Every structure is written in C-alpha cells, then in structure tokens.
Amino acid sequence: MSLTRIFQKAVLSAATIMVLGLIASAARADQVFLVNTNISGTGQVSAQATFTQSGGNLLQISLQNLQSTSNVGQAISGIQFQIYDANGNVSNVSGSITAQSNSLIQVGSGGVTSLGTTATGWGLSSSGPQFTLTALGFTGNGTNPPDELILGSLAGANGSIVGNGPHNPFIDQTGVFSLTLSSNLPAGYQIRNVVLLFGTGPNAVSASSVPEPATMLLLGTGLVGIASRLGKRRAGTARE
C-alpha cells in the first residue's frame, strides 16, 4: 500500500471519529466559554464555563479553574451572563439556585485537607437580562466570608490562600451549580456576554465562546467528504 493511500485512510478514519464525537456533543448542546489571559498584579488566569440545559427550565453551570493557582486573585469567584432566544432577543427570565454540592478543601500551613462534597453557599442575582452567580457577598460555609472561591491545582500558594481564614474553605477545581429559571429556556437559546470573575476585587474578564458542536460537525463532515473524494480520484487514476 502506498504512503498516499495510507495517509488518505488515516485522514478518513480520523475525520469519521471526529464526526461521531461531534454528533454526541451536538446531542448534549453544551455551550462552552473559555478565559485564558494575564491580569496585571495577579498573574495568569485560565478557566472554562460550561452551560448545559438539563430540562425545560433547568440550566446547569460548571465552572472549572484550569490555572495552577498561587494566589487568591486567580481563584474563580463568580460568573455573569445573559440568555438570548434564537432570534437574538434578550430573554428576561429570572432564576434561583436549586443545587450546588461541591468538593471543598481547607488549605493550611500543614497542607490541604479534604472536607468532602457538601452544599456550598454561592448566590444568584438576576436583574432584567443579567445573571450574576457568585460566592461574593454570601455567607458560604466559612466563618468569615468571602470563602468558597474555586481554586485550580495549587502551585506555590501564598498567604492569600494558605491559612487565610476568611478565604477558607475553597471549592476544589470545579464548581457545579443547577439553576431553575422562571420559565422554559427558549428554543435555540444562546448564552452571551459571559464574564468570569476572579478574586475578591473582583477582576472581571470577558470569556470567549467555543464553536458550538453543530459548527464543528460541519467541519468534520467536510473532512470526511474531502477524504472520500481523494479516494475516488485515486481509484479512477488507477483504472486509467
């Protein structure tokens, strides 16, 4: 078998696997947003926010801190977002948090202590189209808030984290929050204007949307089509 034929089969196989994976993703209809930037005086921050509709008026938000964290300014303290319908009109729904059980850790001079998975104390406010989900301004599970910010993996953590009573405990790497909205999400809804909050300031950073699965699916099917045409062209050349 020629190198060209081997390469062609590899491209076709990879593209097929990609399409199958994207079909599964499209079925979930997750909307994903990323932050990866440097905040002056704080350092690098990196995070992912994933929105998943789990029912007609149920929306789950997963916040993952992807940054090796050395100071509390790199910890996720909240998220802001708006909901739009398929026609680009803002949806003026309100909502409340109905579930938020997360893994908590206590960070002290002696190391990290797991506190297990427990109900956390974040709050949700909605004014018109704007939603704010945050640990700031709410009691949480610590004696001296603001606590329950979301840490990434620890790397040389300083005194703003280690043994800091007002900031302990922390959510370990990923926080998941389930919201119940005042009405069903509109068909083809979109999450827009996503801003992630870091630290207790807080620092607000706009998040970039990851292409939706349907868009990536078109790319994947395009790759399969290209590989298929290459195969037919080569087969025709071989017969001549």
Tell me: pLDDT of 160 over 60: yes
Contact of 179 with 59, CB cutoff 8 Å: yes
Which residues make Cβ contacts (< 8 Å) with residue 8, sequence separation at least 6?
227, 230, 231, 234
Percent above pLDDT 70 for the chain: 74
Contact of 33 with 194, CB cutoff 8 Å: yes
- pLDDT value at residue 138: 75
The H helix count followed by the E strand count for the chain is 2, 15
Kind of pairing between the strands at 111-119 and 101-108: antiparallel
Tell me: pLDDT of 107 over 90: yes
pLDDT confidence tier of residue 129, bands split at 50, 70 and 90: confident
Mean pLDDT over residues 181-208, rounded? 95
How many Cα atoms are found within 13 Å in the side-chain-facing hemisphere of 155? Answer: 11
pLDDT confidence tier of residue 236, bands split at 50, 70 and 90: low
pLDDT confidence tier of residue 29, bands split at 50, 70 and 90: confident
pLDDT confidence tier of residue 102, bands split at 50, 70 and 90: very high
- pLDDT value at residue 51: 98
Mean pLDDT over residues 115-141, rounded? 88
Contact of 196 with 208, CB cutoff 8 Å: no
Tell me: pLDDT of 117 over 70: yes
Tell me: pLDDT of 216 over 60: no
Mean pLDDT over residues 136-151, rounded? 78
pTM, whole model, 2 decimals?
0.78
Q: Pick from 51, 97, 78: which is nearest to 192 by CA?
A: 51
**Average model confidence (pLDDT) across the chain:** 83
Tell me: pLDDT of 186 over 50: yes
Tell me: pLDDT of 22 over 60: no
Rounded Cα–Cα distance for residues 16 and 22 (Å): 10
Burial class (CB in 10 A: 0-12, 13-18, 19+), 229: exposed
Residue 105 CA to its chain's centroid (Å): 21
Paired tokens of 174: 């990923």
Tell me how far apart the terminal alpha carbons of the chain are, to the nearest angstrom: 18
